[in-house]
């Protein structure tokens, strides 16, 4: 039987996943400050992104996602393993994204992925201290879409 503390921790972590998705989908980059630790390591390379520390990733997100007029991150099936003030989580994400085409039209592509997270309890609640994407599938990606990672400035090493 789950304790009240474990139930609370699980609900807080599930809310953190929803908060991430809602911040990204609203393009409200500052809301991510309440999702990640200030020094979090984030690895988006599995789907053509970059890796680095949270401040680098936060600065990269706006220009990287600008080419997509609409998108939606649906998070589900979050599997959480608690261990005191730390936790591991793996969440499925379904991410349809609208892409502008060179001829002026639009196309919707579908991305399936998992977020693999290391979390820590802070004075302000649970935060993600490490996130890596794992690709599951992509479907209907326009040929015109540049699938090469966007270059980042500086070099970050994985912790």
Q: Residue 156: pLDDT above 70?
A: no
Q: Look up the pTM and report it.
A: 0.89
Domain locations along the chain: 4-139
Write out the H or E segment, with its range, that includes residue 89.
strand 86-100
Fold entry, domain 4-139: Nuclear Transport Factor 2; Chain: A, (3.10.450)
Q: pLDDT of 117-153, one tens digit each?
A: 999 999 999 999 999 999 999 999 998 875 544 444 4
Paired sense of beta strands 36-43 and 51-53, if any: antiparallel
Q: What is the pLDDT of residue 146?
A: 57
Specify the 3-state DSSP secondary structure of 146: coil
What is the per-residue pLDDT across 62-94, written as a single tens digit (0 to 9) for each?
Answer: 999 998 999 999 999 999 999 999 999 999 999
C-alpha 34/C-alpha 122 separation (Å) is: 11
CA distances, 127 to each of 73, 91, 115, 118, 146 (Å) = 19, 15, 14, 9, 32
The DSSP bridge partners found for residue 22 are: none
Mean per-residue pLDDT, 103-117: 96
Q: pLDDT by residue (tens digit) across 25-49?
A: 999 999 999 999 999 999 999 999 9
Q: Given this model, what pLDDT does residue 150 score?
A: 41
Question: Hey, what are 97's tokens?
Answer: 């994204």
At residue 43, the pLDDT reads: 98
């Amino acid at each position: 039987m789950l304790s009240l503390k474990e139930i609370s921790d699980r609900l807080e972590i599930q809310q953190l996943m929803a908060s991430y998705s809602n911040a990204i989908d609203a393009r409200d980059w500052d809301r991510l400050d309440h999702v990640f630790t200030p020094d979090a390591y984030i690895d988006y390379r599995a789907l053509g992104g970059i890796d680095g520390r949270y401040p680098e990733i936060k600065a990269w997100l706006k220009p990287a996602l600008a080419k997509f007029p609409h998108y939606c991150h649906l998070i589900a099936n979050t599997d959480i393993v608690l261990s005191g003030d730390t936790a591991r989580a793996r969440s499925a994400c379904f991410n349809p994204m609208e892409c502008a085409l060179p001829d002026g039209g639009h196309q919707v592509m579908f991305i399936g992925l998992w977020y693999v997270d290391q979390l820590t309890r802070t004075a302000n609640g649970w935060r993600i201290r490490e996130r890596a994407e794992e690709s599951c599938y992509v479907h209907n990606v326009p040929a015109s879409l540049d699938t090469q990672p966007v270059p980042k400035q500086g070099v970050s090493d994985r912790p």
